[in-house]
Amino acid sequence: MGLVGVEIGPARARDQFLHGESIEGTVRNSILNSWQRSLSLGLSPDGCELPYRRDLDLDGRLVHAAAPVLDRLQTLFEGRNMNVSLADGQGAVLQRRFGEASQVRHLAAIQSLPGFVFAEQFGGTNGIGLALAERQLIHVYGAEHFAERSQSNACSAIPVRDLLSGRIEGILCFGYPITDVDAELNTVIRRAAGAIERRLLEQSSSRERALLEAYVDARRRTPAGDGRLGELAESGLDWRDQMILKERAADLISLAQRAAVEVPLPSGRRVTLLSSPVTSRTGVAGIVIEAIFPAPHQRIAVPAAAGPSVSPLAGQVLDPTGRPLGHPPDTPPRRTATTARAPGAAGHPADRAASGLVMVGEPGVGTYAVAARRRLELLSEASARIGTTLDVSRTAGELAEMAVPRLADFVTIDLPEAVLRGDEPTDARTGLHRTVVHGYREDCPFYPAGQPVELRPTTPQLRCLASREPVLEPDLRTAAGWIAQDPVHAQDLLDHNVHSLIAVPLVARGIALGVASFYRSRDPAPFGDDDRSLAQELATRAAICIDNARRYTREHSMVLALQHSLLPHSFPDQNAVEVAYRYLPAASGVGGDWFDVIPLSSSRVALVVGDVVGHGLHAAATMGRLRTAARNFAELDLAPDEVLTCLDNLVGRLDRDEGNEEPSTGSTGTTGIIGATCLYAVYDPTSQTCVMARAGHPPPALVHPNGTVAFPDLPAGPPLGLGGLPFETAEFHLPEGSQLILYTDGLIDDRHRDFDTALDQLRRALAHPNRPPEDTCEAVLRTVVPDHPTDDIALLVARTHALDAHRIATWELPADPALVSGVRAAVARQLAVWGLEEVAFSTELLLSELVTNAIRYGTAPIQVRLLYDRTLTCEVSDTSSTAPHLRHAATTDEGGRGLFLVAHIAQAWGTRYTPEGKAIWAECALELTGGKPGIALPHFDDIPAI
């Protein structure tokens, strides 16, 4: 019986509603909304008095079209307790039919006689009034009626529309006892309404046939006229020319006056269209459009009364015989083309201008055809203009821009916060944010964009989200739910002439993403069903684009979060360089740019910048794998060219592995790594040298302490993944205070800017030697980065420091075991000078083991070096390439335990290969760091005693 709840009936729900209790969810939304409107109009259940109209047109076109259908329904329902009524567009009953004739004697006058008005503002919730409000097939059962007198009845009602204009011409309503509810009635009432609508359309066709007959009669009455119609098809015009003529003819019909317009055609011909008024025998007034094809060297005189402007109205397009489309076969037969004498033309046949009928129609009827054409044009344009970006807010704004002013005067769009973040909303009715406010003027007092919007369930916006169907409020002055949201704000909008509303849910793939509200203010006519259909079509197309943008936003956020988690958030403490960095994702998506700063042994540091080709999740994941691999290879103390070789092998292997995945894994074979580039540099603060190698990456920029900016001539090398080609290194001296700038190609690549121009901009931005790296980053981003970067950008700025010579101690030794004790004593003295007596014992033990190992297994000469930085580094080098290995010594072994002591005492240790051989190093942690490099510890031994 139409109830939503299962524990409460409509009668009880109605009583609770009338007593001010909440009944949301217990009755259908359409019934609840109608009850609320009835109360807001001041109606009471026992006081709904219906007005009676005596000025009804009981023999108008609607009654004429519906009479045979009503008679058929009376026959169908013969013997049943059925009351069939036909009302006009204002709810006034025009005709009634009864299945049982005797029931008329038992019915009240308002249920048996025509003339009573059942509009909702008079009768409350009823079939005719609710069908006018909802503009669709509705059902009202028993206690769902607002008035007390109708509690025992049920009714079904459906609008009857003019198929040309889409306007509601009337309402067809079935009334019956509540016990006679039958699902088959839906089919019957739909078919009956459709039959009435078709008969209304036939009436329009008959009017245009009458106009055509009047035109033919007028031609017969002209001198030398025989009434025959010329044909456009026989004029030699192709289909494009004929289409242009028909469109211009439709505009001329709207003028509703005698006029002439010369139309140039793409084929080079010029045709004159003449419009003439014509009136049928029955008094139907219309316009006839003829095409005049001038003879050679002849021009048609344009009457002075012809206006230059053309209004976009249309008439009925005719087929080549001059017969209206859909004309029955009893019309005048097809004739050959005739000629008409143009004004001022000679009478010779060679000088006559051929003519052809283009259109005939009523200006008012043609308006509907033009409106339909405009709707199609708007939808076609919307397909191209909505969804040009993958930004949720911008896509919503494009919907509003398309609708204003061609559909509405103001548009507001509310989206849940989850949609703006890229998530799928759980309930689009909660957490709404005003995303777009757009109109033909800026001063209309809608809730501003960017703020949360709390809407009541009775508002058209939440009603449409609940039903997933558009809600039309033709007159906002009577829209109780809309006014109840904020009466003061509603009155302010009404004062600005905002009078009609269409609320449309933005639904894509079954998910409600928000709501679009279309308001009208300048046009005094309210929105109609055609407007609602157009708004729904626009909103549906926009919803798909918004959902695509939402999904992209979610993926973009996920990829960006992944990349940020894979990029370094901070760097380990080291004194070799002072570092600043920036990462900017591309506007179109996250790429695979990455960077790193890796502390190495002996106070050295590695600087790395790389770029994985492509965008999206795959590029970000690959970037993380390469960065991790680069750190691992760096930990092996490999040279820059060797690190790039290892990365090259890794990228090639990853590419092969992903390209060879089985189809069952879901891979399409297109996710392989197309390429990657990398620049790897190692800076040594003890010698102030930097060794670099690059794999297809842009060269670094070097800023000398005097402000000179250079781009070192560094061998390019192939991109990673090609394999088979070696990488070359280059060594540069970097005085203290130099700046080394590493970047990815997104910084300088821009299709709107020359490459050399970008390098010059970068050079000028870097020509400030004494600026901190953070300021350098800001200057580069401000002056070099493109306005809309199409690729992501990684920028790494490092200012070099040197390790003071007072913090470096070196001893050269021959391969003599007897000198080990002397080295230990020298080291102890040096540590005392540095004030590091607390680590003297462990350091002497480390050096003793390392030197002994070098003398026993290495090759002279042997060098011992101490570096005092944040840690104390002990380094022993020789010319042998044999590296020691940590192993478990057997109980009976005399050696093999020295490296166990080194590993236990040292914070870290390892082997580094050099061009001369190898160096074994070990780091000892210091409780107090060495402070800023280049500043020696103070000495107080030379102060005289007191």
The pLDDT of residue 943 is 60
**CATH no. for 806-924:** 3.30.565.10
Average pLDDT, the chain: 82
Cα–Cα nearest to 584, from 293, 900, 795, 380: 795
Output 806 or 561, whichever has higher pLDDT: 806
Residue 385 pLDDT > 50: yes
CB atoms closer than 10 angstroms to residue 892:
5
**CATH no. for 10-202:** 3.30.450.40
Both structure tokens of 671: 């996710």
Name which CATH class applies to 567-659+671-800: alpha beta
Output 269 or 189, whichever has higher pLDDT: 189
Q: Which residues in 273-302 are b (16+ Cβ under 10 Å) and which e?
A: bbbbebebeeebebbbbbbbbbbeebebee
The pLDDT of residue 732 is 94
Q: State the pLDDT confidence band at 369, using cuts at 50, 70 and 90.
A: low
Helix, strand, coil percent values for the chain (each to nearest 5): 35, 25, 40
Least confident of 234-238, 469-473, 748-752: 234-238
Q: Average pLDDT, stretch 637-643?
A: 93
Output 385 or 897, whichever has higher pLDDT: 385
Do you find a cis peptide bond into 861, omega within 30 degrees of 0?
A: yes
Per-residue pLDDT of 662-706, as tens digits, reads 444 444 444 555 679 999 999 999 999 999 999 999 999 999 999
Ordered alpha helix ranges (H), 222-256: 239-253
CB 31 within 8 A of CB 2: yes
Hey, CA dihedral for 547, 549, 555, 561, is it positive or negative?
Answer: negative
Residue 298 pLDDT > 50: no
Report the CATH superfamily, name and number, of domain 392-472+502-557: GAF domain (3.30.450.40)
CB 918 within 8 A of CB 840: no
Please give the Cα distance from 897 to 550 (Å, whole number). 63
Please give the Cα distance from 150 to 139 (Å, whole number). 13
Q: State the pLDDT confidence band at 733, using cuts at 50, 70 and 90.
A: very high
- CA distances in angstroms from 665 to 625, 650, 661, 670, 672, listed in the order given: 21, 22, 7, 13, 14
Both structure tokens of 651: 């990228």
DSSP letters for 661-694:
--GGGT--S--S---EEEEEEEEETTTTEEEEEE
Least confident of 23-32, 75-84, 352-361: 352-361
Q: Do domains 10-202 and 392-472+502-557 have the same CATH topology?
A: yes
Strand partners, 530: none
pLDDT over 70 percentage in the chain: 84
Per-residue pLDDT of 46-91, as tens digits, reads 878 899 998 888 888 899 999 999 999 999 999 899 999 999 999 9
Residue with tokens 């350091």: 843
CA angle 785-548-529, nearest 5°? Answer: 125
3-state secondary structure of 538: helix
The pLDDT of residue 905 is 85
Please give the Cα distance from 503 to 517 (Å, whole number). 4
Q: How far is CA 584 from the centre of its chain?
A: 21
Residue 308 pLDDT > 50: no
The pLDDT of residue 351 is 45
The pLDDT of residue 323 is 37
Least confident of 363-372, 419-428, 489-498, 715-724: 363-372
CB 277 within 8 A of CB 252: no
Residue 325 pLDDT > 70: no
**What is the radius of gyration, based on Cα positions, of the chain?**
44
DSSP letters for 742-773:
EE-GGGT--TTS-HHHHHHHHHHHH--TTS-H
Strand partners, 743: 795
Contacts of 163 by beta carbon, 8 Å cutoff, 6+ apart: 197, 198, 200, 201
- CA distances in angstroms from 923 to 272, 638, 883, 884, 930, listed in the order given: 98, 18, 18, 17, 13
Strand partners, 191: none
Strand partners, 170: 88, 160
Both structure tokens of 776: 């350098």
Q: State the pLDDT confidence band at 335, using cuts at 50, 70 and 90.
A: very low
Per-residue pLDDT of 407-444, as tens digits, reads 999 999 999 999 999 999 988 888 999 999 999 988 88
Burial class (CB in 10 A: 0-12, 13-18, 19+), 557: middle
The pLDDT of residue 300 is 44
Cα–Cα nearest to 412, from 545, 530, 503: 503
The pLDDT of residue 301 is 45
Please give the Cα distance from 861 to 815 (Å, whole number). 7
Least confident of 46-55, 230-239, 375-384, 534-543: 230-239
3-state secondary structure of 456: coil
Residue 506 pLDDT > 90: yes
Residue 332 pLDDT > 60: no
Q: How many residues does the chain have?
A: 946
Contacts of 296 by beta carbon, 8 Å cutoff, 6+ apart: none
Cα–Cα nearest to 27, from 686, 19, 35: 35
Q: Average pLDDT, stretch 199-217?
A: 75
Q: Could you state, in order of their start, the residue ranges of all structural domains in the chain?
A: 10-202, 228-329+337-370, 392-472+502-557, 567-659+671-800, 806-924
Strand partners, 701: 741
Residue 722 pLDDT > 60: yes
Residue 222 pLDDT > 90: no
Please give the Cα distance from 278 to 215 (Å, whole number). 6
Q: Which residues in 236-257 are b (16+ Cβ under 10 Å) and which e?
A: ebeeebbebbbbbbbbbbbbbe
Residue 679 Ramachandran class (φ > 0 left, ψ -120 to 50 alpha, else beta): beta
CB 185 within 8 A of CB 193: no
Q: How far is CA 602 from the centre of its chain?
A: 53
Q: State the pLDDT confidence band at 24, using cuts at 50, 70 and 90.
A: confident
CB 675 within 8 A of CB 715: no
Residue 328 pLDDT > 50: no
Per-residue pLDDT of 857-914, as tens digits, reads 888 889 999 999 999 999 999 988 877 776 665 555 555 667 777 888 888 888 898 8
Q: Is the pTM of this model over 0.75?
A: no
Contacts of 230 by beta carbon, 8 Å cutoff, 6+ apart: 322, 337, 338, 339, 354, 355, 356, 357
CB 419 within 8 A of CB 430: no
Output 929 or 762, whichever has higher pLDDT: 762
DSSP character at residue 103 = G
CB 828 within 8 A of CB 628: no
Both structure tokens of 418: 């989850």
Cα–Cα nearest to 352, from 333, 364, 337: 337
- CA distances in angstroms from 431 to 417, 455, 514, 782, listed in the order given: 6, 10, 10, 37
Amino acid letter for position 593: D
